[in-house]
Structure 1
Amino acid sequence: MGSLRVAEKWLYGSRFCCPDSVSGGLYVVGMSSSSSPSRDPRSGSARGVALLEKHAAIARLQAEFLTDLAEFDAAGEFVIDNQVTAQAWLRHHTRMDALDARRAVTAARALRDLPQTAHALVAGEISVRHVDELAAGHKRLGAAVMLEAEEMLVPLAKAAAPADVRAGVARVEEAVGADESREEKAQRIHDSRYLLLSTGMDGTVIITGRLDRAHGMLVQKAIRAGSQPNPEPGQQVDPRTAAQRQADALIEIVQTHLGSQPGVTSLRLDTTLVVDLPTLRDELQPGDGHTGIAAILGTAFTAEELRYLTCTADVSVLLTATLSPHARAAAANDERAGTDGAVNLGGLSVTVAPGVPLGLGREARLATRAQLRALWVRDGGCIAPGCRNRRVQAHHVIHWSDGGPTDITNMCLLCSRHHHLLHQGGWQLEPDPDRPGRFRWRPPDGSEPVPATHASDRNPGTTRTFW
């Protein structure tokens, strides 16, 4: 393919390598082709020699693993273990996450078609990370293109870092594009799109992906529009980094999409939450035998995280009264508890009995569409001072677990950012005694309260308190 010569010229003229007039090979700039101190074990200590030998041995073992995986994948032997793909088999038996398993299978398939890459890996001259970059090119450009490009890319991989190999593959991709029609290039780029979601060991979600230019710009525009600095109430500077603001903007976009009411949205997750009442009410004491953490499908959440979740999700809540002595005594003395042990939880009458489900339900504690409309008219958006975000959620000022009713007199609108601050940042909302029907924010440091911003504040002359 003639256009690959363009990429070859770039590779030979790069800072990574240049042509060797004697051997026709490639070598690192500033070093002869016959010696490479960074790879010569004799140039280091005995421990360094051992490390280099082990590194080469690891590469050889990884090459064997990928070779066997390629054969295992091609033969479909994973079905013997009731798995649908080799990737699923790896995840099940080795506990790899989805991204690592996908990379392993992609690399294994590429090595079947790329003999020079396979040989370099077996010889310990390149690492699996180098193979990952070459395999990504194999997946996007196809075996025929990468087989020819190996003549340039494998020597580059022997002399440079994986990131540099990625740049080399990109140059090959550009060169291939020169031989394509506009429609073929657009289709190839569109076909290369992907989005991967994987879960880290700490429960965080890792997002990686690739989009064509037009759709990528669309996503960038949407995220940038929602990631402008938004200081906390009473503050001048947003403490979040630009990356954190973009992450928050993505969450708000998703919440808006999942919501059903224009202008007023809330995240709707179909989740079963199993939690005991004192955990939700944060009544557990040290030594009670509980940690104060409930679980959703095996994922642990603190009491405040649970409060935030139950404000913004359709959760089927299975309440159990596995009460500690402290919590049982508190329930007996609670004015919401009667002589029969019944507890009124946000309008739901439940019975305190160890291990017995107390109540199952969630939708009754979510605002109705009519209430959301009324809240929108009254608040006009997030009620945090200075916040202009119109992607908002309904929040109980007095949480339902504390007996707060799902009524507009006990609810307000908050954006995702300020909703999070309220639940986990130490801020509090309370009725404003100087402005009946409206609220004010109390900072976590105990300083003077900051008046909330309602529609009547944004638009003086309107009165929208509704009570």
Structure 2
Amino acid sequence: METTGVTGGVCVAAADAAGLSDGGLRGRLRVIGQAESALAAMKAAVLGEIARREDAERAERAARDVLGAPRRDAKRDVELGVQLRTLDVVRRALDEGAMPLAHARLIARAAAEGPIDEEMLADAARIQSYEQFARTVRRHQADVSIDDGKSLLDHQREQRSGRVFTSSDNGMVVLGAEFDPITGAQLASAISAKERELWRSEDPAARRSPQQRTADAIAELILELDGKRPSGTALLIVADYDVVQGELKRARLGDGTPIPIDELIKRACDADILPAVFRAAADEMRLGRRRRTASDAQRVALAFRDQGCVGCGKSPNYCEAHHIIPWKVGGRTDLNNLVLVCNGCHHHIHDDGWIIHRNRSTGRYELRPPGS
């Protein structure tokens, strides 16, 4: 199997997937991923040049007409092509197949929103998962911002969008929207709380899929006439207290997304945040065998501690509390026996034998495959 970059073209030798070993299949995917990145670099270069010679709108039209790309994908591809003209390090990494396309898009978007350290982000993109890298980009943008991230947040709010349409593929009605991180965190918190409420009311022998439960949660939240908000939907905002200066610093959402201190003050005035101050010995953190499910206070503490799924880094809003020592063999519902995991990683634990491991050097919990 062989793949080369833009200057030499892209070539992946044919192979019978059924005849490959498990390791061979993964190696095959790696080569295909490198080829896809190199092809993306080619496409970005062509569309970027069309946009330079003519304009972005005509480049988008070319992508739709020649490649049959949907309007949204054509717009994203042209934006990437235009931005990569000024990002030499990212362009080379993509060309060489050393950076996934999704990671390159994150860097390009960040560069369009403000100053960045391109080389630092490119190095991180080579080794981090998409979820980890997305958080790295957000934190880096806040670190290099000269106004505590206020202009970035304002830009994100200006870019909010939503649409409702009927899919031409299957006739289903599709709702789509993009929000700034704070509004999005509030919405995700309300949806996940409603999901937990629906899960508790389900027949264990006939449960909905996670995707069905999310859809039903959104529908109920929109269509409920009494406007009652489910419990556990308060917004978690964390900040460090500088004892010397006597002020709060480094404000961030529960998943680590940085926010301006001004937003922390504004939300505190709305009385819609929870203080992230915990004591390990507090009764609320140790429920023992009194109940199986984590309390709202424990979920807040877990979001603060784990900052998302310990396996893949997915936002705390899409995670559930998992017992390290299983409940059915005597495990306790105590904070030190709980970790946050998303639905997919939960299946890895129960179905594939993955294990929870605590990193001695960092103190953070990790999810590892069996035998590692």
TM-score normalised over the length of structure 1: 0.35
More helix by share: 2
The structure that has the greater radius of gyration is 1
